[in-house]
Amino acid sequence: MHPHIQQYINAVAQANGTTAQGLAAHFSVTPAVSQKMREAVRLESTFLQKINIVSKQEIAGAIIGLATGLNASRTDTKKGDGTVRRNPKPYHSLTGRQYLCQKVNFDTMVGYDDMDAWSVHPDYIKLINNQLVKSKALSLIAIGFNGTSAAANSDISANPLLQDVQKGWLQHLRENAAANVMGSASAAVEVGEGKTYTSLDHLVTDITESLIDEEFHDLPGMAVICHQSLLSEKYFAVIKEAGSKASELRPADIIMSEKRLGGLPVVTAPYFPKNTILVTPLKNLSIYFHKGGHRRKLADEPEFDRIADYQSENICYVVEEYGAAALVENIKIAK
């Protein structure tokens, strides 16, 4: 075995608190090491830093929900025969729904040729790990926005956005909160002059009022998630309208820097579907990880000229409160 390959294997073994021989066996990653790896993935993505990444002791259990917000009240405990009492409000809502973490594989490999090429860099081990972390972060996001099923055997050729790996947030809304979803493949939501909605701002304002439950209307952190191309539809029109008039370019520049729709801040994220808008607080979106479900095996596979890293985790995508989310799909902008 080449020295740099052995060095890489030894480094991974040390990080996992085991030996090179231990890596070759299918082992359970300790919760502490798993949490450290998960934190590295979270820090790789600005979007993942803004949502909930939650470790769960149990593989299945109750979904707690968002904080319930207002909790002030008054009670006259002296009234009646002394049986009147104060009734504290739960600090989280009780949704009555259950989560179930299911196994997802995050298997990667590094070819001998790539390992040889990277080994000329003093920090080549860090470079390899950074690529693995980035790949996992993007995979988690892609599933969250595009996942529609959990196939026994996923097919990345047929589902390049990992649609068949796990059900994501948007699919949970489609299946379990249809009243909070507008538009479909067969029913476009038209935006433009003479259409149902005159602008994207008009659309966002309406769905925030009509699709999101009233108790969540003023929830802190409410935001609009959309694809960059949809956001460009609005701001291209703003710049075009400003034209070459110097007095109007500055206001347009300010609007561009704020990036708002319907008065709400806009978040663009990798792999979010085009022509789609999700209005919700980012803290309403969660990925649950089963605390004891992280397994790994690092294998030197000379028959394939590669080092293979087999990892699996039990995960679940959760919308904490369906009532705090509004989804619009198949948006058509009139030209």
Residue 274 domain flag: yes
Judge whether residue 251 has pLDDT over 50: no
Average pLDDT on 171-197 reads 95
Whether the pLDDT of residue 249 is over 60: the answer is: no
pLDDT greater at residue 261 or residue 70: 261
pTM of the complete model = 0.87
Residue 239 has a pLDDT of: 45
pLDDT reported for residue 90: 64
The answer on pLDDT for 182 being more than 80 is: yes
Domain membership flag for residue 77: no
What are the tens digits of pLDDT across the range 71-107?
787 877 777 676 787 777 666 666 789 999 999 999 9
The CA distances from residue 232 to 7, 49, 266, 322, 325, in Å, are: 47, 24, 12, 28, 23
Q: Report whether pLDDT(236) > 70.
A: no
Output the pLDDT for position 247.
Answer: 44
Do 202 and 234 fall within a single domain? yes
The answer on 28 and 7 residing in a single domain is: yes
Confidence at residue 68, expressed as pLDDT on a 0 to 100 scale: 60
Decide if 139 contacts 107 (C-beta within 8 A): no
Q: Would you say residue 258 lies in a domain?
A: yes
Has residue 158 been placed in a domain? yes
Half-sphere exposure of 40 (CA within 13 A, CB side): 15
> Are residue 189 and residue 148 in the same domain, yes or no?
no
Q: What is the rounded distance in angstroms from the CA atom of residue 124 to the CA atom of residue 298?
A: 17
Q: At what angle do helices 124-146 and 3-15 cross, to 10 degrees?
A: 60
Mean pLDDT of 131-143: 96
Q: What is the pLDDT of residue 248?
A: 47
Same domain, 115 and 203: no
Asked if the structure places residue 297 within a domain, the reply is yes
Within a domain: 225: yes
Q: Is pLDDT of 252 > 80?
A: no
Could you tell me the two tokens for 234? 């609005």
Residue 199 belongs to a domain = yes
* Total of domains in the chain: 2
Is the per-residue pLDDT at 253 higher than 60? Answer: no
Residue 175 lies in a domain: no
For the chain, the average pLDDT equals 88
Choose the weakest-confidence range: 50-54, 100-104, 123-127: 123-127
Which domain range does residue 131 map to? 3-65+94-168+285-319
| Mean pLDDT along residues 34-53 | 94
Which has more confidence, 41 or 5? 41
Residues 44 and 134 in one domain: yes
Q: How far does the chain reach from its first CA to its final CA, in angstroms?
A: 62
CB 219 within 8 A of CB 324: yes
